[in-house]
């Protein structure tokens, strides 16, 4: 169902239009391109919002159904041994399929790199490479309300499945356009492409890449002129646990699931203590074995103790980094801005 010219702009954030089926008045965000009528539930596409200025060039249609998206979420939760037992039988508060606005960039990276072969961090032979590379169809999200990390975790999308934009794909889904014409790369994309570029340059040298390091470089990153606007399919699922709303996302093309589920800290503590006990037993056994090797007989007990302590210390550091990353992800998927982004849309 399409809405023609009967809509009008209320202000620079919201737009008033009418359902052509029941005549109901709908208030939508200025960037919403398709939604549902809050009165009769019919799909509503607001065609007059599209101009030469903001029209998407391409779209990847939804391939994953709403049932498959829900099943992907349930599989994710079942695999998480730390999730509360009661949450594994969660009730979905809401699920929405949204076409998200992305830029598709062709990005050129050129660099004059000085590399050095390393041996225990002692620089040996040095190499020079003057290289350039073009990365095609790199997706970058265009919604400031959503953490860029979540956009990247939804990747990859199969860009061979791009279709010319057509309103028919929007029926039955929410969608959004972006009026932000600024072309910029977020830090995550820059880091990803830089790492890929450096890895390929290192492969041109007949030495294992891990034994090479970049000593000096002069990197240039350029967004080429043929940037494209594209709508990519994402399922958003809301569920609630202990008054906390969790938003999980599913790639609408591949079914990849992104999000963090609640943690039962009692279960987490149990497995942490269990892992610590097992690790300690292994360390004690190793200590016993190495003390019986002739090589280790020449070392004092202080050296052996230092070796064991170092293993425990770095194990704790690794575990702490993992917990910090987990907490950061928790903040991303439980953030109020992400929740508000979903709730701003008309319910069916």
Write out pLDDT tens, residues 293-314. 544 445 555 555 565 566 666 5
* Res 165: pLDDT: 92
Q: Does residue 201 have a cis bond before it (omega within 30 degrees)?
A: no
Confidence (pLDDT) at 134: 92
| pLDDT surpassing 50 at residue 4 | no
Radius of gyration for the chain, computed over Cα atoms and rounded to the nearest angstrom: 26
Q: Of the given ranges (59-63, 111-115, 324-328), which has the lowest mean pLDDT?
A: 324-328
Is 50 exceeded by the pLDDT of residue 6?
Answer: no
Which of 85 and 141 is assigned the larger pLDDT?
141
Query: pLDDT-derived band of residue 20, with 50, 70 and 90 as boundaries?
Result: confident
Q: CB–CB of 234/60 below 8 Å?
A: no
Token pair of 170 as six digits? 């929007």
Share of the chain above pLDDT 70, in %: 70
Q: What is the band of 223 on the pLDDT scale with cuts at 50, 70, 90? A: confident
Contact by Cβ (8 Å): 146, 233 = no
Using alpha carbons, list the distances in angstroms from residue 332 to 79, 147, 259, 265, 339. 20, 7, 8, 19, 10
Backbone angles phi, psi at 247, to 5 degrees: -110, 120
This prediction has a pTM of 0.74
**What integer pLDDT is reported at residue 34 of this predicted model?**
83
The sign of the dihedral angle between the CA atoms of 43, 49, 54, 57 is positive
Kindly tell me if the per-residue pLDDT of 85 is higher than 90: no
The yes-or-no verdict on residue 321 having pLDDT over 60 is no
- Is the pLDDT score of 5 beyond 50? no
Q: Using an 8 Å Cβ cutoff, are 18 and 39 in contact?
A: no
Average pLDDT value for residue range 205-219:
82
Length of the chain: 348
- Measure Cα distances from 3 to 17, 53, 340 in Å: 7, 20, 25
């Amino acid at each position: 169902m399409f809405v023609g010219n009967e809509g009008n702009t209320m202000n620079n954030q919201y737009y008033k239009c009418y359902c052509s089926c029941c005549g109901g008045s709908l208030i939508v965000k200025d960037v919403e391109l398709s939604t549902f009528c809050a009165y009769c539930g019919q799909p509503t596409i607001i065609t007059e919002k599209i101009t030469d200025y903001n029209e998407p060039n391409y779209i990847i249609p939804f391939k994953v159904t709403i049932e498959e998206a829900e099943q992907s979420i349930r599989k994710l939760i079942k695999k998480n041994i730390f999730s509360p037992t009661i949450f594994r039988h969660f009730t979905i508060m809401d699920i929405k399929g949204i076409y998200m606005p992305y830029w598709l960039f062709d990005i050129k990276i050129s660099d004059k790199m000085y590399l050095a072969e390393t041996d225990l961090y002692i620089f040996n032979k040095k190499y020079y490479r003057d290289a350039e590379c073009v990365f095609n169809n790199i997706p970058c999200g265009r919604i400031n309300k959503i953490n860029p990390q979540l956009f990247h975790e939804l990747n990859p999308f199969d860009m061979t499945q791009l279709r010319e934009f057509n309103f028919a794909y929007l029926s039955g889904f929410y969608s959004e356009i972006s009026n932000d014409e600024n072309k910029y790369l977020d830090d995550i994309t820059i880091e990803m492409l830089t790492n890929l570029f450096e890895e390929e340059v290192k492969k041109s040298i007949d030495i294992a890449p891990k034994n090479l390091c970049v000593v000096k470089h002069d990197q240039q990153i350029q967004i080429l002129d043929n940037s494209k606007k594209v709508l990519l399919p994402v399922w958003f699922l809301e569920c609630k646990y202990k008054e906390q709303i969790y938003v999980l996302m599913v790639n609408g093309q591949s079914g990849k699931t992104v999000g963090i589920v609640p943690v039962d800290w009692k279960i987490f503590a149990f497995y942490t203590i269990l892992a610590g006990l097992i690790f300690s037993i292994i360390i004690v056994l190793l200590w016993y074995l190495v003390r019986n090797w002739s090589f280790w007989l020449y070392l004092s007990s202080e050296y052996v103790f230092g070796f064991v302590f170092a293993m425990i210390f770095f194990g704790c550091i690794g575990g702490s980094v993992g917990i910090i990353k987990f907490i950061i992800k928790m903040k991303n998927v439980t953030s109020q801005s992400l929740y508000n982004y979903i709730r701003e849309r008309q319910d069916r």
